[in-house]
Chain A
Amino acid sequence: MDLDELYQEVILDHYKHPRGTGLREPYEGESHQVNPTCGDEITLRVHVEDGRLADVSYQNVGCSISKASASVLYELVNDVPVDEARTKMDEFTELMNSKGLGEPDEDTLEDAVAFTGVSKYPMRVKCALLGWMALKDALIRAEASVPTPRGGAE
């Protein structure tokens, strides 16, 4: 097994120096996701303003793949239009389901292309998708909530 293909430098760098961590206010949607097989967890919040993801904040415990994936997620979708974030989410999900055969677009997925190798390891795909599942859920919750000026809608 080629370990370097799984643990690419980019992934290890995001793992060791995660971007955008911590839970912040304001936010309209929050999601808590758990990987029941390993106990990994993430809490992720979205702050939507004028159709843009003005802030994505998160707190997580997990393996290098799940932590690096959350960090890459932050870089990709923070401060971009919600529609564009959804497109990236779909592209990344498709890449993770590609069993190593995906040919990701580096222009849209940037550092996330490093996860192509992860998609060959079915046991780790869930790790890589945990943060993205939280994003998907948090966006649905944000849409369903009544927006308040300072966020933190209940």
Chain B
Amino acid sequence: MEAVNSLDVEAVRADFPILQRKIGDKPLAYLDSAATSQKPAQVTDAMRRFSDYSNANISRSVHTMAAEATDAYEGARAKVASFIGAPSPDEVIFTKNSTEAINLMTYAFQNASVERGADPRFTLRPGDEVVVTEMEHHANLVPWQQLCLRTGATLRWLGVTDSGRLDLDDLHEVVNERTKVVSFTHVSNLLGTVNPTAAVVARAKEVGALVGLDSSQAAPHLPVDVAGLGVDFIAFTGHKMLGPTGIGMLWARAELLGAMPPFLSGGSMIETVTMERTTFAGPPAKFEAGTPPVAEAVGLAAAIEYLEALGMDHVRAHEQDMAGYMLEGLGAVDGLTVIGPDVPTDRIATVSFTFADIHPHDVGQVLDSEGIAVRVGHHCAKPTCARFGVTATTRASAHVYTTTDEIDRLVSALEKVRKVFA
């Protein structure tokens, strides 16, 4: 049941000044939104208005601007909460990015594992198991891997099928009574796969494990509803969803946040401090030591408002159309192999491919000479590349401002690539 694609892409594009720029003498075709999306003027305007008019530190002073800044920051938190269907804004923790949000989780486990009297759901010992997948961005692999190395727990993972789907054949074996936490990617940044979360979440719940999602590539493109997903935590980031860099989010169930030891400590996260001891504030403050990214929160709120005005169903429908168009166009290129699902079902318009033995660096360089921006390399997912026997891929990715014309330009520029390296 997909909504009809009714996005007015030309009207959307008018909101993104950067899309007017040229690369050399060629108009920009920005097909690298999975790395970072562009920001509409509404976002940069909101940040500028805040900086020019209301800038102050939050939650500290009684003056007017401090109150305005606090309202803006907490307003952004409420905006995020409603965007993902969270029951309370207090369940949203602002971080620097998704990576920090995931580290906030892994360090909760690590700290609990060495502290006396910690909640046993967060303590890891040899014999305990942690589950990820073979299609993780390094951000949702390395922190868990390091956590296991430090605590003696065992890292396990679900594999990936040849067609780029999560391999659930051994789900019951990999997620078992020893599993304490399952953390997996909602949407793969390399393959574009939208994962079947329900099956994995149900199995995790069945064995009493905590379960969370790296939703960095999901939140920008699909409606995300934490209640519907049934998960315990999700991590995502502002700069991939039309917002600014420097702000990410962790959402976790209030009860869990209450039980988790803090990650970073210092100012703003305390209840009371003596020279010997500190008691901590409740969530979210407990997890937000130091001055937070206030202007970035304002920009993020504007980005969410922008996406909500477009309607996430329409955003999803446009994404689906672009995925289909990209797969069709690229699929017809001789010598090109798509790494990931080759049908637009349960995937986003992030398409990785190899091309005629030409190294992705070289592909990307020639595409750049045509004004086309794509990502080349291992996309911070080396094990996923290894799974498919490649060291690197070229990746094109779309967002709300992407046009079929840009995808056509990509497809025809690949013939120029072929000519240079033939």
Q: Contact size class for A?
A: 10 to 19
Does A142 lie at the interface of the complex (its beta carbon under 8 Å from any beta carbon of B)?
no
Residues A124 and B391 in contact, CB atoms below 8 Å apart? no
Stretch of A38-46, A51-59, A79-87, A96-104 at the chain-chain interface: A38-46
Report the Cα distance A64→B356, complex, angstroms: 13
Report the Cα distance A114→B377, complex, angstroms: 25
Does A1 lie at the interface of the complex (its beta carbon under 8 Å from any beta carbon of B)?
yes
Given the complex, which residues of B lie within 8 Å of A64, measured CB to CB? 359, 361-362, 421
Per DSSP, are chain B's interface residues mostly helix, strand or loop, or mixed?
helix
Residues B377 and A39 in contact, CB atoms below 8 Å apart? yes
Report the Cα distance A15→B365, complex, angstroms: 16
Return the CB mask of B373-392 against A: 1 if under 8 Å, else 0: 00011100010010000011
- Residues from 384 to 422 in B contacting A, C-beta threshold 8 Å: 385, 391-392, 420-421
Does B23 lie at the interface of the complex (its beta carbon under 8 Å from any beta carbon of A)?
yes
Given the complex, which residues of A lie within 8 Å of B359, measured CB to CB? 40, 62-64
Most buried by A among B24, B362, B366, B369: B362
Given the complex, which residues of B lie within 8 Å of A3, measured CB to CB? 365-366, 369, 420
Report the Cα distance A107→B366, complex, angstroms: 31
Residues B23 and A127 in contact, CB atoms below 8 Å apart? no
Residues B385 and A1 in contact, CB atoms below 8 Å apart? no
Report the Cα distance A7→B60, complex, angstroms: 57
Report the Cα distance A7→B24, complex, angstroms: 17
Report the Cα distance A121→B366, complex, angstroms: 13
- Residues from 21 to 66 in A contacting B, C-beta threshold 8 Å: 37-41, 61-65
Distance between B372 CB and nearest chain A CB, rounded to angstroms? 12
Residues A1 and B369 in contact, CB atoms below 8 Å apart? yes
Most buried by B among A1, A7, A12, A40: A1
Distance between A73 CB and nearest chain B CB, rounded to angstroms? 18
Residues B361 and A38 in contact, CB atoms below 8 Å apart? yes
25 contacts between A and B (CB under 8 A): A1-B24, A3-B369, A7-B362, A7-B420, A12-B421, A37-B377, A38-B360, A38-B361, A38-B376, A38-B377, A38-B378, A39-B377, A39-B378, A39-B385, A39-B391, A40-B391, A41-B391, A61-B391, A62-B361, A63-B359, A63-B360, A63-B361, A64-B359, A121-B365, A124-B361
Please list the residues of chain B having a beta carbon within 8 angstroms of any beta carbon in chain A: 23-24, 359-362, 365-366, 368-369, 376-378, 382, 385, 391-392, 420-421
What are the 4 closest A-B residue pairs judged by CB atoms, nearest first? A63-B361, A63-B359, A39-B391, A38-B377
Please list the residues of chain A having a beta carbon within 8 angstroms of any beta carbon in chain B: 1, 3, 6-7, 12, 15, 37-41, 61-65, 121, 124, 127
